[in-house]
Structures are given as C-alpha cells and as structure tokens.
Amino acid sequence: MERSTITIKVKLDKDKIPQQIEWNATGSTVEHTQQAKGIMLAFWDGEEKTAMRIDLWTKEMMVDEMADFFYQTLITMADTYNRATHQQGLTDEMKEFAKSFYQKFRDIQLKENK
C-alpha cells in the first residue's frame, strides 16, 4: 500500500499568532514547499462522532481573502458531499448558501467603502 505524508509547518510570532504557514505532501506533483495564508483542516472521530478542526490564518490574510477562502471552501465541501452521497438537492442548497454568503460579504464591503 502506498502512503503519502502531508507536512504543515507554522511559524508563530511572540504572541503565538501564525506568521507563516508552509506545507508539502509526498507524492504531490509540486516538489517544493507551498506557502499559505490560511488553513482549515478537519478530522472525523468516528468513535466520538465529532469533528476535530484546526483553523489557522496569518496576519497577512486580508478580510476579502478570508471571504474568498470561505466561499471556495463551502463550494468544494458541497462538491465533496455530492460525490459521497449523490444528494444533488442538498448540494445545490449548500452552494446557494455559499453564493448568498459571498454576495452579502461583497454588499457589506461596498457599504463600508463608500
């Protein structure tokens, strides 16, 4: 059986706030370490029936980048859910929520920037 290792390195400042996030994976088509401004990592504990999460972002991540990150994550979560369950109706609802969320964010940004 083939294995892959994903390595995530987080450099913290003196207040333990992420300054830099780097990651790489064995078996990836990208051979060098990748930089990231944020990560969302979730594990499912089948025994406890709970999700365990790690959400980190650097100080350099702007609010509009965070909104893009959430929007894209919600869309890909919907696609993943659809591949696993074939529940197209629920998938469509998740994507509609993601679009509504992103539009509301943009409306707030426009109002704040007037």
Q: Whole-prediction pTM value?
A: 0.88
Domain count, the chain: 2
Are 13 and 31 within one domain?
A: yes
Give dist(CA 64, CA 69) in Å, integer: 9
Q: Which residue in 35, 39, 41, 40 sits closest to 22, CA to CA? A: 35
Per-residue pLDDT of the chain (114 residues; tens, 9 = 90+): 888 999 999 999 999 999 999 999 998 888 899 999 999 999 999 999 999 999 999 999 999 999 999 999 999 999 999 999 999 999 999 999 999 999 999 999 999 887
Give dist(CA 114, CA 103) in Å, integer: 17
Are 31 and 45 within one domain?
A: yes
pLDDT at residue 19, as a whole number: 97
Are 67 and 94 within one domain?
A: yes
Are 72 and 37 within one domain?
A: no
What range defines the domain where residue 49 resides? Answer: 1-60
Are 79 and 114 within one domain?
A: yes
Give DSSP secondary structure letters for 32-43: SPEEESEEEEEE
